Amino acid sequence: AQSVTQLGSHVSVSEGALVLLRCNYSSSVPPYLFWYVQYPNQGLQLLLKYTTGATLVKGINGFEAEFKKSETSFHLTKPSAHMSDAAEYFCAVSPTGAGNMLTFGGGTRLMVKP
Amino acid sequence: ETGVTQTPRHLVMGMTNKKSLKCEQHLGHNAMYWYKQSAKKPLELMFVYNFKEQTENNSVPSRFSPECPNSSHLFLHLHTLQPEDSALYLCASSQGTEQETQYFGPGTRLLVL
Protein backbone atom coordinates (compact mmCIF):
# COMPACT_ATOMS: atom_id res chain seq x y z
CA ALA A 1 0.00 0.00 0.00
CA GLN A 2 1.11 3.50 -0.76
CA SER A 3 1.76 6.03 1.98
CA VAL A 4 2.71 9.67 2.01
CA THR A 5 4.54 11.47 4.79
CA GLN A 6 4.67 15.23 5.09
CA LEU A 7 7.28 16.23 7.62
CA GLY A 8 6.01 19.10 9.75
CA SER A 9 2.31 19.70 10.19
CA HIS A 10 3.03 23.42 10.64
CA VAL A 11 5.72 25.51 8.95
CA SER A 12 6.25 29.19 9.63
CA VAL A 13 8.35 31.48 7.42
CA SER A 14 8.84 35.20 7.11
CA GLU A 15 7.57 37.04 4.06
CA GLY A 16 10.28 36.91 1.39
CA ALA A 17 11.93 33.82 2.83
CA LEU A 18 12.33 30.45 1.14
CA VAL A 19 9.45 28.03 1.48
CA LEU A 20 10.30 24.33 1.74
CA LEU A 21 7.58 21.77 2.37
CA ARG A 22 8.68 18.16 2.54
CA CYS A 23 6.98 15.11 1.09
CA ASN A 24 8.17 11.52 1.07
CA TYR A 25 6.29 8.54 -0.28
CA SER A 26 6.60 4.81 0.03
CA SER A 27 5.99 2.78 -3.08
CA SER A 28 7.74 -0.05 -4.87
CA VAL A 29 7.07 1.66 -8.18
CA PRO A 30 7.38 5.44 -8.60
CA PRO A 31 3.87 6.83 -8.57
CA TYR A 32 2.42 9.97 -10.05
CA LEU A 33 2.93 12.84 -7.61
CA PHE A 34 0.82 15.88 -6.85
CA TRP A 35 0.82 18.95 -4.66
CA TYR A 36 -2.49 20.58 -3.80
CA VAL A 37 -3.23 23.75 -1.83
CA GLN A 38 -6.30 24.44 0.29
CA TYR A 39 -7.25 27.96 1.31
CA PRO A 40 -9.70 28.45 4.20
CA ASN A 41 -13.25 27.38 3.43
CA GLN A 42 -12.29 26.14 -0.02
CA GLY A 43 -11.62 22.87 -1.76
CA LEU A 44 -8.23 21.69 -2.94
CA GLN A 45 -6.52 23.27 -5.94
CA LEU A 46 -3.71 21.69 -7.92
CA LEU A 47 -0.35 23.45 -7.60
CA LEU A 48 1.68 21.05 -9.75
CA LYS A 49 2.16 17.41 -10.63
CA TYR A 50 4.81 15.02 -11.83
CA THR A 51 3.87 12.27 -14.26
CA THR A 52 6.86 11.65 -16.56
CA GLY A 53 9.79 13.53 -18.04
CA ALA A 54 11.64 16.36 -16.36
CA THR A 55 11.94 15.79 -12.64
CA LEU A 56 11.79 19.50 -11.77
CA VAL A 57 8.20 20.58 -12.14
CA LYS A 58 6.99 24.16 -12.12
CA GLY A 59 3.54 25.03 -10.92
CA ILE A 60 1.30 27.99 -10.26
CA ASN A 61 2.09 30.93 -7.98
CA GLY A 62 5.87 30.45 -8.30
CA PHE A 63 5.99 27.01 -6.69
CA GLU A 64 8.08 24.14 -7.96
CA ALA A 65 8.90 20.60 -6.85
CA GLU A 66 11.57 18.09 -7.69
CA PHE A 67 11.00 14.37 -7.96
CA LYS A 68 13.95 12.45 -6.52
CA LYS A 69 13.48 8.75 -7.07
CA SER A 70 16.49 7.72 -4.99
CA GLU A 71 15.12 9.62 -2.02
CA THR A 72 11.44 8.85 -2.71
CA SER A 73 10.80 12.55 -2.22
CA PHE A 74 8.81 15.31 -3.89
CA HIS A 75 9.54 18.44 -1.86
CA LEU A 76 7.76 21.70 -2.67
CA THR A 77 9.67 24.98 -2.78
CA LYS A 78 9.15 28.64 -3.48
CA PRO A 79 12.06 31.11 -3.43
CA SER A 80 10.19 33.95 -1.75
CA ALA A 81 7.09 33.58 0.40
CA HIS A 82 4.16 35.93 0.06
CA MET A 83 1.45 36.56 2.62
CA SER A 84 -1.08 35.09 0.20
CA ASP A 85 0.77 31.74 0.33
CA ALA A 86 -0.60 31.07 3.81
CA ALA A 87 -2.70 27.93 3.38
CA GLU A 88 -2.62 24.18 3.89
CA TYR A 89 -0.59 22.13 1.43
CA PHE A 90 -1.15 18.49 0.62
CA CYS A 91 1.14 16.06 -1.13
CA ALA A 92 -0.57 13.15 -2.86
CA VAL A 93 0.38 10.09 -4.87
CA SER A 94 -1.45 8.05 -7.44
CA PRO A 95 -0.18 4.55 -8.16
CA THR A 96 0.85 3.85 -11.73
CA GLY A 97 -1.31 1.28 -13.47
CA ALA A 98 -3.61 0.77 -10.53
CA GLY A 99 -6.46 3.17 -11.09
CA ASN A 100 -7.29 6.75 -10.34
CA MET A 101 -7.01 6.82 -6.55
CA LEU A 102 -5.10 9.49 -4.67
CA THR A 103 -3.44 8.87 -1.33
CA PHE A 104 -2.84 12.10 0.58
CA GLY A 105 -0.32 13.08 3.18
CA GLY A 106 -1.44 14.65 6.43
CA GLY A 107 -0.97 18.18 5.16
CA THR A 108 1.30 21.07 6.15
CA ARG A 109 -0.11 24.37 7.28
CA LEU A 110 2.09 27.20 6.04
CA MET A 111 2.09 30.43 8.02
CA VAL A 112 3.75 33.54 6.61
CA LYS A 113 4.87 36.24 9.02
CA PRO A 114 5.11 39.88 7.92
CA GLU B 1 -21.67 27.48 -13.07
CA THR B 2 -18.16 26.26 -13.64
CA GLY B 3 -15.94 23.62 -12.10
CA VAL B 4 -17.25 21.44 -9.30
CA THR B 5 -20.11 22.65 -7.12
CA GLN B 6 -21.41 21.17 -3.88
CA THR B 7 -24.61 21.76 -1.95
CA PRO B 8 -25.28 22.43 0.79
CA ARG B 9 -22.12 24.14 1.99
CA HIS B 10 -23.04 23.59 5.63
CA LEU B 11 -25.27 20.97 7.22
CA VAL B 12 -26.23 20.23 10.80
CA MET B 13 -28.10 17.01 11.44
CA GLY B 14 -29.15 14.80 14.29
CA MET B 15 -28.13 11.17 14.50
CA THR B 16 -31.58 9.99 13.43
CA ASN B 17 -31.91 12.28 10.42
CA LYS B 18 -31.56 11.41 6.75
CA LYS B 19 -29.91 13.94 4.47
CA SER B 20 -28.15 14.02 1.13
CA LEU B 21 -25.11 15.86 -0.17
CA LYS B 22 -25.03 16.84 -3.82
CA CYS B 23 -22.09 17.34 -6.16
CA GLU B 24 -22.18 18.52 -9.77
CA GLN B 25 -19.29 18.85 -12.18
CA HIS B 26 -19.32 21.03 -15.28
CA LEU B 27 -15.99 19.85 -16.68
CA GLY B 28 -17.06 16.95 -18.89
CA HIS B 29 -15.20 14.46 -16.69
CA ASN B 30 -16.06 10.79 -16.43
CA ALA B 31 -14.88 10.04 -12.90
CA MET B 32 -16.19 11.41 -9.60
CA TYR B 33 -15.04 10.96 -6.03
CA TRP B 34 -16.11 11.49 -2.44
CA TYR B 35 -13.48 12.32 0.18
CA LYS B 36 -13.76 12.87 3.92
CA GLN B 37 -11.56 15.51 5.57
CA SER B 38 -11.48 15.31 9.35
CA ALA B 39 -9.43 17.38 11.72
CA LYS B 40 -6.01 15.86 12.38
CA LYS B 41 -6.47 13.07 9.82
CA PRO B 42 -5.37 12.85 6.18
CA LEU B 43 -7.98 13.14 3.49
CA GLU B 44 -9.70 9.80 3.13
CA LEU B 45 -11.00 8.56 -0.19
CA MET B 46 -14.49 7.16 0.33
CA PHE B 47 -15.93 6.28 -3.08
CA VAL B 48 -14.89 6.38 -6.74
CA TYR B 49 -17.21 6.30 -9.73
CA ASN B 50 -15.99 5.80 -13.29
CA PHE B 51 -18.55 6.22 -16.05
CA LYS B 52 -21.32 6.05 -13.40
CA GLU B 53 -20.07 2.71 -12.06
CA GLN B 54 -18.71 2.46 -8.55
CA THR B 55 -15.15 1.20 -8.79
CA GLU B 56 -13.99 1.81 -5.25
CA ASN B 57 -15.56 1.64 -1.82
CA ASN B 58 -12.87 2.29 0.71
CA SER B 59 -14.42 0.31 3.59
CA VAL B 60 -16.96 3.03 4.23
CA PRO B 61 -19.76 2.25 6.73
CA SER B 62 -23.15 1.55 5.21
CA ARG B 63 -24.65 4.65 6.80
CA PHE B 64 -23.01 6.45 3.86
CA SER B 65 -24.66 5.55 0.57
CA PRO B 66 -23.40 7.05 -2.71
CA GLU B 67 -25.40 7.49 -5.89
CA CYS B 68 -24.16 8.50 -9.33
CA PRO B 69 -27.09 8.87 -11.75
CA ASN B 70 -24.90 10.27 -14.54
CA SER B 71 -21.33 11.40 -15.11
CA SER B 72 -22.10 14.95 -13.98
CA HIS B 73 -23.87 14.30 -10.69
CA LEU B 74 -22.88 12.54 -7.50
CA PHE B 75 -24.82 12.21 -4.27
CA LEU B 76 -23.95 11.04 -0.80
CA HIS B 77 -26.95 9.87 1.17
CA LEU B 78 -26.54 10.02 4.92
CA HIS B 79 -28.56 8.20 7.59
CA THR B 80 -28.11 7.43 11.28
CA LEU B 81 -24.75 9.13 11.40
CA GLN B 82 -22.50 9.35 14.44
CA PRO B 83 -20.86 12.46 15.89
CA GLU B 84 -17.48 11.19 14.65
CA ASP B 85 -18.82 11.54 11.10
CA SER B 86 -18.66 15.31 11.49
CA ALA B 87 -16.18 16.49 8.88
CA LEU B 88 -15.72 18.31 5.60
CA TYR B 89 -16.93 16.17 2.71
CA LEU B 90 -15.22 16.96 -0.55
CA CYS B 91 -16.30 15.96 -4.02
CA ALA B 92 -13.87 15.80 -6.93
CA SER B 93 -13.91 14.90 -10.59
CA SER B 94 -11.33 13.96 -13.21
CA GLN B 95 -10.88 12.36 -16.59
CA GLY B 96 -10.37 9.09 -14.77
CA THR B 97 -6.81 7.93 -15.34
CA GLU B 98 -4.25 7.91 -12.56
CA GLN B 99 -2.21 10.80 -13.91
CA GLU B 100 -5.12 13.15 -14.43
CA THR B 101 -5.71 16.05 -12.09
CA GLN B 102 -8.65 15.79 -9.75
CA TYR B 103 -10.69 18.98 -9.45
CA PHE B 104 -12.29 19.58 -6.08
CA GLY B 105 -15.46 21.29 -5.00
CA PRO B 106 -15.56 23.60 -1.97
CA GLY B 107 -16.94 20.89 0.29
CA THR B 108 -19.88 20.44 2.62
CA ARG B 109 -19.14 21.08 6.28
CA LEU B 110 -21.20 18.48 8.21
CA LEU B 111 -21.92 18.58 11.92
CA VAL B 112 -23.66 15.59 13.50
CA LEU B 113 -25.24 16.28 16.88
CA distances from A69 to A56, B12, B27, B100 (A): 12, 45, 33, 20
pLDDT digits (tens, 9 = 90+) for B7-35: 999 999 988 889 999 999 999 999 999 99
CA distances from B26 to A33, A38, A44, B1, B92 (A): 25, 21, 17, 7, 11
pLDDT digits (tens, 9 = 90+) for A100-113: 788 899 999 999 99
Contact across the interface for B90 and A43, Cβ inside 8 Å: yes
Contact across the interface for A49 and B99, Cβ inside 8 Å: yes
A94, pLDDT greater than 90: no
| Residue from the list A97, A100, A107 with its beta carbon closest to the beta carbon of B94 | A100
Task: Name residues 38-97 of chain A within 8 A of B (Cβ).
Answer: 41-46, 49, 51, 90, 94-97
Residues of B in contact with A96 (CB under 8 A): 98
pLDDT digits (tens, 9 = 90+) for B33-50: 999 999 878 899 999 998
pLDDT at B1: 58
pLDDT digits (tens, 9 = 90+) for A60-84: 999 999 999 999 999 999 999 999 9
